[in-house]
Amino acid sequence: MGILGLPSRPDHGFRTPEGGVVHGVMAEFPNSAAVYHAAEQVRDAGFQKWDVFAPFPIHGIDEAMGMKRTKLPLIVAGGAITGITVALLMQWWMTAVDYPLVVQGKDYSAWEPWVPVTFELGVLFSAFSALIGMLALNGLPRWNHPLLKSERFLRVSDDKFVIVIEAGDAKFQGSDTVTMLQGMGATAVELVEE
């Protein structure tokens, strides 16, 4: 057994000394600069399943964590293109095929009167694809999370800076991960149970 009762080998079935399943290790840092530099070190160590929590946005933390750009703009663009296509096809079908009616002497396929509906459906489909895409990419809704059981984590919204490394990460080594976080300047390290 290593630090905090965790084995130092990567068996991915980590349990607490009481027998509970470990979700991960949470390390608290004293300020935003310390958590920023710790995030760079965790990124350089090759961890993939981890996150930083802070009471306010930290400038540059995305780069420090090595986060890739989100796919959400592509999802929203796909929604907009779908909305525009649906609007144009719907209006063409209604005016030229289903119920052909000459309006102001214009051709059946005149696009000018279709602009407002096309714009509105493009915006509507974009908004729904942004909402649904964001929820899907963030794995939401999730009604409960193991971190919410920790009193120390609940102070993140007030004045704490925290890094959480999940036990499901391929690089997670139990007590070696705890030792690494302590070496980065963590003021407190805590196990988080499922």
Pair (57, 149) in one structural domain:
yes
Q: How far is CA 148 from the centre of its chain?
A: 17
At which of 95, 118, 137 does a domain end?
137
Per the structure, the complete domain to which residue 124 belongs is given by 72-137
Position 43 confidence tier, pLDDT thresholds 50, 70, 90: very high
132 and 154 housed in the same domain: no
Q: What domain count does the chain have?
A: 2
Q: Measure Cα distances from 96 to 22, 73, 87, 122, 138 in Å.
A: 63, 34, 14, 21, 43
Whether 46 and 88 map to the same domain: the answer is no
The answer to whether residues 10 and 59 belong to one domain is yes
Indicate if the pLDDT at residue 17 is higher than 80: no
pLDDT at 11: 47
- Please check whether residues 84 and 133 belong to one and the same domain: yes
- Tokens for 168, please give them: 């499901």
Confidence of residue 110 (pLDDT cuts 50, 70, 90): confident
| Torsion sign (Cα): 33, 39, 41, 44 | negative
Whether residues 125 and 105 share a domain: the answer is: yes
CA distance 75 to 114: 24
Strand partners, 162: 28, 53
Percent residues over pLDDT 90 in the chain: 65
Do 62 and 79 belong together in one domain? no
Residues 130 and 156 in one domain: no
Integer CA distances (angstroms), 130 to 9, 121, 194, in order = 42, 14, 31
Say how far apart CA 84 and CA 59 lie, in whole Å: 36
Residues in the chain: 194
> What's the pLDDT at 5?
55
